[in-house]
Amino acid sequence: MKDGDSLPDDVPDNIKEFIRRISRGDFPDELPANLSDYFSSIAMLSSSGMGAPPAMSREPDGVELLKGVAPAEWVAERLWRSAPHKGLLVGSLIPEGFEAYARIFHPASYQSDDREWHRVSWATVADWYGKVVHPQMTFPRLVNLDWLEHPSWGSLPEMGTLPEVECKPLLDVLREFTTTPESCYFAVWEGYGGFDERVGKGVAKLASPFLDRKYYIFHGPLDSVMSFCQWEFFLQAPNIWWPEDRAWCVATEIDDLETFVGGSAACIERVLAHPELEALPIALDARVDAFGDTVNG
């Protein structure tokens, strides 16, 4: 999507103008008041031809959907408010207060001559295009394409979800850095839709200061994070998850191709060193939208 003109006709004019501005790198001081309501609506899915998602008739295996959000309020309190004129900052995506942070890059996919699909790291893609690997690199700048355009050789990294191939090794690391692996919380964005009355009726949602995102909160053991990846029609990891002792936190924004982890220096060091995770250290004030990669711009 290059500008507001490529959106469906029923998109409000002020939303179209907002998208035109940010596509030019012109970030307004304030977000449109109706931005979150519009993009989280089922009407948006229907107008795009995708149709409404099927209803979820139960929770994922091993977790409970909480009626209240008290255990998650600290997350919203520690997230930075959106500042569009500054771009997308890490502190708007993952809570402040941790000793160190890492950015995990979701692998892209390429199709070989034998038509088999293979995972490919961002570092490999950067090498293909003669680009520089650094903490604020963005995939569109690596492949010289606009946002959401697929490269001719394959597919973009998974958006809005930590792929299973990285979720499993991350779990192995994080399990060793919490005293409460049997008590963890999982936040799932409301905009995925599909919660029927048996699951979502009367349930409070956590309000995030970032684009006023709202999340359902689930509770269960750490290992149950994988059950979200096989949950009926959902098939993806939670957006934000953390243990009861708040020793670390994992966050994946719905429109991003990467995941952020905050924790102790020792924890993040292990994340960065894991051979199955492509990760780099990142600062909370680092800009990570398409315009934040000034090295490969």
Q: What is the DSSP string of 194-233?
A: -B-HHHHTT---EEPSSTT-EEEEEEE-GGGGGGGGGSTT
Q: Do 207 and 242 fall into the same domain?
A: yes
- According to DSSP, the β-strands at 108-111 and 64-65 are unpaired
What is the DSSP secondary-structure string of 124-187? Answer: HHHHHHT----TT--HHHHHT--TTPPPTTEEPPPSSS--HHHHHHHHHHHHTT-S-TTSEEEE
One domain for residues 41 and 82:
no
Out of 15-29, 132-146, 147-161, pick the least confident. Answer: 15-29
Is there a domain that residue 131 lies in?
no
Average pLDDT over residues 287-296: 91
Per-residue pLDDT at 273: 98
As a dihedral over the C-alpha atoms of residue 174, residue 121, residue 211, residue 45, rounded to 10 degrees, the angle is: -110
210/191 Cα distance (integer angstroms): 14
In terms of domains, do 35 and 162 share one? Answer: no
pLDDT band at 179 (very low <50, low <70, confident <90, very high): very high
Give the pLDDT confidence score for residue 84 in this predicted structure.
67
Question: Same domain for 8 and 88?
Answer: no
Q: Select the highest-mean-pLDDT range: 30-44, 140-154, 225-239.
A: 140-154
Indicate yes or no: pTM above 0.85. Answer: no
- Cα distances (angstroms) measured from residue 135 to each of 69, 77, 103, 294: 33, 26, 7, 11
Please count the structural domains in the chain: 2
Distance CA 266, CA 269 (A): 5
Give domain status of residue 119, yes or no.
no
Do 25 and 93 fall within a single domain? no
Weakest-pLDDT range from 50-59, 115-124, 264-273: 50-59
The pLDDT of residue 262 is: 98
Q: Is residue 108 a part of any domain in this protein?
A: no
- Compare 139 and 84 and report the one with higher pLDDT: 139
C-alpha span between 139 and 145 (Å, rounded): 8
Query: What domain range includes position 34?
Result: 4-47
| Any domain includes 40 | yes
Same domain, 177 and 221: yes
In a domain, 21, yes or no: yes
